[in-house]
Structure 1
Amino acid sequence: MVFITESLIRKRAEHNEGQLSTLEEVSLHQQDIEKIEYLDKWCRELRILYLQSNLISKIENVGRLKKLEYLNLALNNIEYIENLSGCESLNKLDLTLNFIGILSSVENLRDNIHLADLYLTGNPCVDHEGYRDYVIATLPQLQRLDGNEITKTERILALQKYDKISKRIEELDQQYAEKRKNQVNEYARTKQERDADENYWEQQSEYTPESRIETHESMKKKRERESKETKTEPKPIRQYIGDDGRPLNCNEPKVDFKMYESDDDRYIILDIAVFRHLDTSLIDVDVQPTYVRATIKGKILQLVLSEEVNTTLSAAERSKTTGHLVIKMLKVKESNTPIETKPQIENKKTSTSSSGKSSTYLELGKDPSSTVDYTQIVNQNKRNSQLKPKTNPSKERENSSDFIDNPDVPPLI
């Protein structure tokens, strides 16, 4: 038996942040509930209540729901309409596919002056002669019965027939009550026979509240038995490293990614399209020489690299615009490239300038103090300043043999 508990209602009240005192609508359908309880104490503000497709056999503990407007009790085991007079705001009542055979029980709805819609389709009372006229005459506040609108003409005719129909309905109710009594006794008498008969569930039987509960319990046991017999295969453990020791590719978080090389062919760059607003604390990156692994919310994205990378010189960061995770990995061949140097000069090279100053070239890799005398730098500069540059006297060019000195021509300056 399934009971209505506080945890069950809170679970169904997620739209109201789990609060019960202000809850206005709750759906408790298909929960195998057999009894209505606690709702009138915990949820006084309820306006809509769904209890269809359960095993409820009696309407109870809803009389204090003063604001209840819609009550759905379809597909249950209800046999009698009762305990609804306290639901002052009740506007719609759905009792489809129950076991209501005492049609006169609709008189208990007279106090529900706001009741406009009533559904009794699929109940034994619908087969009673004069069913619709009796309900219309009994409940003058109704506007629709079983989804069909009630016209003024239909209401007038029903009131005219009421006295005659009510007597006939009373006889039919008595007959149904006697029939139900026999069904209950027969069910109790043949219980052992049904348990012993292996082919019982393959035979057609009468549809009663008892048979419905028995069918439900039988199906429940069958499901439990099948679940035990069916051995669920354990989920295979995912391998990130193959049997040969090589890393394997996998994308558990199912995120988009792009791997490419930098323009200078020195780096391998991995761009992972993680969620933009995902907290960085939920991301972990592990760069290995031959593969890279990114753990996103506990799920692993692992990719094999085409070349070995330097793990110590790799970097990962989030894009400030897209939120993507960008991992930049330096290739090993680039990080190990030696610096090109000029071969060492073994001999000293000296040259003398036009002023007589000598220059000394240092050898690469040697200490300059071993070849240069720093103590003579000041004295040498003084001597160089005292030296005067030698100037050669300019010689005039001799005139040619055919030169004619013309005094009219001004001299060249």
Structure 2
Amino acid sequence: MVRITVELIRKRSEHNEGEIGTLEEISLHQENIEKIELVDKACRNLKILLLQYNLISKIENLKMLKRLEYLNLALNNIEVIENLEGLESLKKLDLTINFIGDLQGVKKLRYNENLEQLILTGNPCTDYEGYRDYVVASLPQLRELDMTPIDRSERIKGLQRYAEVEGDVIRGYRRYAKIREKQIHRHEEREKLRITEINEDGLEKEDEEVENENFWKSTSYHTPEDRLAIAERTLKIEEKRKKAQIQKTDEPKRILKLFSPDGRAYNVNQAKVSFTLNDEDCRDNVILEVAIYKHLDTSYLEVDVQPRYVRVTIKGKVLQLTLPCEVLTQKSSVKRNVVTGHLVITMPRLNQLETIRKSSRIEKKVFPKVTVNATGPISKRELLEIGPPRDEMDFSKIVRKDGQKPSKQKSQEMTTPRNFVDNPEVPPLE
């Protein structure tokens, strides 16, 4: 587990430029500290000391801190209130969520005459009958208990009931002491069983992994022993992970080969970027276009043009290409597209091309015909018609009621509008 050292104190005193002699406030929380030490000797001017969320089981080595006003020991393994008489200036004491069962230790805080705030929330003693009246009556200097102010009537009531609630507190502690004995016995039995299994079978890597898995799946209890066991197991896993990382960093890295033994340049795309090398469309130049990331700063790019190859380094990653012909390095130019961010490298040829390839502008793509053979039954699509069809004939109008067919003249009269004017010059419709 972690111990309080000068290096740790100096690390946590960055706000005081690393000076620990004049330090007035320090936070040593979440460090898996098991014992309070060195603080009272190295930092005697402390006014605020934060030690919450550690594994401290005993309050000790604080008597030299005469100026200390606020002490936070929440979320630790403390079971007894003790060794705080020397803190003459103590105003606030936070012991939230510890394992304090003996509430009679509160009487030792009478010597801390400036103590105004006390927090015991989450401790077993807070479940005792008459707990609040007992604490209020025992500490007349208190103004606030468990974040709740103490008024005058409550203090008078606590003093009146002190003899009664003291008996309740003692009986409550006796019941808790029996529960605590069972917790310790259960933990000891479980540890004996685990050690026996290790001694009999031995521990290989696979067995250790199985043991860890069983540990995390097993039931844990809110006890100091279980909190300590969980912290130790977590630290082991963290140390193993750090060792694995160190081993990875110590492994020799793969050396990138850019040239063959005879001096010929390899084609390498370590940066894994898209590129286009055009050496046929221009008679005078070989053009390389590299698809650089649009928002990448140009300072991360480096271009090296040689007569037979070109190399582009992008944030330490190499793109190297052999050239189809020899180029003039001194006349080569590099530009970057402002819109796309692409890098365009123009390299003049040493010997000009006699002919260039004619690129066809229109390219027809011929797709192969695909025939599908239906192996199953073919379903026919049918439409559902609603209402009478449009081509339906009204057979009732073919014959009149008297049995004679309607004359053409009458049918024309029926279809001719009233305001119709016949034009003799228009030929009749046939």
Q: TM class by shorter-chain length?
A: 0.5 to 0.7
For the residues of structure 2 that align with 1:42 and 1:26, how far apart are their CA atoms?
12
Deviations 1:177-234 (A, max 9, x none): 4554554455445542354587676454653222322333344446667888999697
* Alpha-carbon contact 2:96-2:120 (below 8 Å) kept: yes
User: How has the CA–CA distance of structure 1 residues 71 and 288 changed in structure 2, closer, same or farther, with 3 Å as cutoff?
Assistant: farther
The 5-angstrom pairing of residues 271-350 of structure 1 reads 273=297, 287-289=304-306, 291=310, 300=316
For the residues of structure 2 that align with 1:121 and 1:238, how far apart are their CA atoms?
60
Which residue, out of 194, 199, 224, partners 1:209? 224
Deviations 1:145-181 (A, max 9, x none): 2222333332332222223212322333344445545
Q: How much has 1:79 moved relative to structure 2? A: 0.5
For the residues of structure 2 that align with 1:193 and 1:107, how far apart are their CA atoms?
41
How does the TM-score come out when normalised to structure 2? 0.56
* Alpha-carbon contact 1:309-1:330 (below 8 Å) kept: no
Q: Which residue number corresponds to residue 141 of structure 1?
A: 141
User: How has the CA–CA distance of structure 1 residues 310 and 59 changed in structure 2, closer, same or farther, with 3 Å as cutoff?
Assistant: farther
Answering whether residue 31 of structure 2 is matched by residue 16 of structure 1, we say no
> SS at the partner of 2:111?
coil
Q: How much has 1:67 moved relative to structure 2? A: 2.1
Q: Which residue number corresponds to residue 267 of structure 2?
A: 246
Greater shift, 37-46 or 300-309, is seen at 300-309
> SS at the partner of 1:93?
strand
User: How has the CA–CA distance of structure 1 residues 237 and 136 changed in structure 2, closer, same or farther, with 3 Å as cutoff?
Assistant: farther
Deviations 1:363-403 (A, max 9, x none): xxxxxxxxxxxxxxxxxxxxxxxxxxxxxxxxxxxxxxxxx
Q: Which residue number corresponds to residue 6 of structure 1?
A: 6
* Alpha-carbon contact 2:267-2:321 (below 8 Å) kept: no
Q: How much has 1:68 moved relative to structure 2? A: 1.8
Answering whether residue 120 of structure 2 is matched by residue 120 of structure 1, we say yes
> SS at the partner of 1:26?
strand
The 5-angstrom pairing of residues 7-46 of structure 1 reads 7-46=7-46
The 5-angstrom pairing of residues 221-236 of structure 1 reads 221=236
Deviations 1:330-375 (A, max 9, x none): 9656x999xxxxxxxxxxxxxxxxxxxxxxxxxxxxxxxxxxxxxx
User: How has the CA–CA distance of structure 1 residues 272 and 209 changed in structure 2, closer, same or farther, with 3 Å as cutoff?
Assistant: closer
For the residues of structure 1 that align with 2:234 and 2:256, how far apart are their CA atoms?
40
* Alpha-carbon contact 1:4-1:38 (below 8 Å) kept: yes
Paired residue type of 2:15: H
User: How has the CA–CA distance of structure 1 residues 302 and 60 changed in structure 2, closer, same or farther, with 3 Å as cutoff?
Assistant: same
For the residues of structure 1 that align with 2:32 and 2:303, how far apart are their CA atoms?
50
For the residues of structure 1 that align with 2:332 and 2:47, how far apart are their CA atoms?
62
> SS at the partner of 1:110?
helix
Greater shift, 284-293 or 118-127, is seen at 284-293
User: How has the CA–CA distance of structure 1 residues 156 and 225 changed in structure 2, closer, same or farther, with 3 Å as cutoff?
Assistant: same
How does the TM-score come out when normalised to structure 1? 0.58
Q: Which residue number corresponds to residue 151 of structure 1?
A: 151
* Alpha-carbon contact 2:331-2:348 (below 8 Å) kept: no
Instruction: Give the paired residue count.
Output: 304
Q: Which residue number corresponds to residue 163 of structure 1?
A: 163
> SS at the partner of 2:77?
coil
* Alpha-carbon contact 2:27-2:49 (below 8 Å) kept: yes
Q: Which residue number corresponds to residue 73 of structure 2?
A: 73
For the residues of structure 2 that align with 1:19 and 1:313, how far apart are their CA atoms?
60
Across the aligned residues of Structure 1 and Structure 2, the Cα RMSD in angstroms comes to 4.7
Deviations 1:109-139 (A, max 9, x none): 2222332222211111111111111112222
Give unmatched runs, 5+ long, in structure 2.
Answer: 198-210, 273-284, 334-344, 353-430
Q: How much has 1:81 moved relative to structure 2? A: 0.8
For the residues of structure 2 that align with 1:23 and 1:336, how far apart are their CA atoms?
76
For the residues of structure 1 that align with 2:259 and 2:158, how far apart are their CA atoms?
83
The 5-angstrom pairing of residues 249-264 of structure 1 reads 250=271
User: How has the CA–CA distance of structure 1 residues 274 and 123 changed in structure 2, closer, same or farther, with 3 Å as cutoff?
Assistant: farther
Give unmatched runs, 5+ long, in structure 1.
Answer: 252-264, 276-282, 316-328, 338-413
Deviations 1:70-128 (A, max 9, x none): 22211111001111122222222221111100011111222223322222111111111
The 5-angstrom pairing of residues 53-132 of structure 1 reads 53-132=53-132
Paired residue type of 1:300: G
> SS at the partner of 1:18?
coil
* Alpha-carbon contact 1:240-1:250 (below 8 Å) kept: no
Paired residue type of 2:226: S
> SS at the partner of 2:316?
strand
> SS at the partner of 1:77?
coil
Percent identity, please: 45
For the residues of structure 1 that align with 2:11 and 2:130, how far apart are their CA atoms?
44
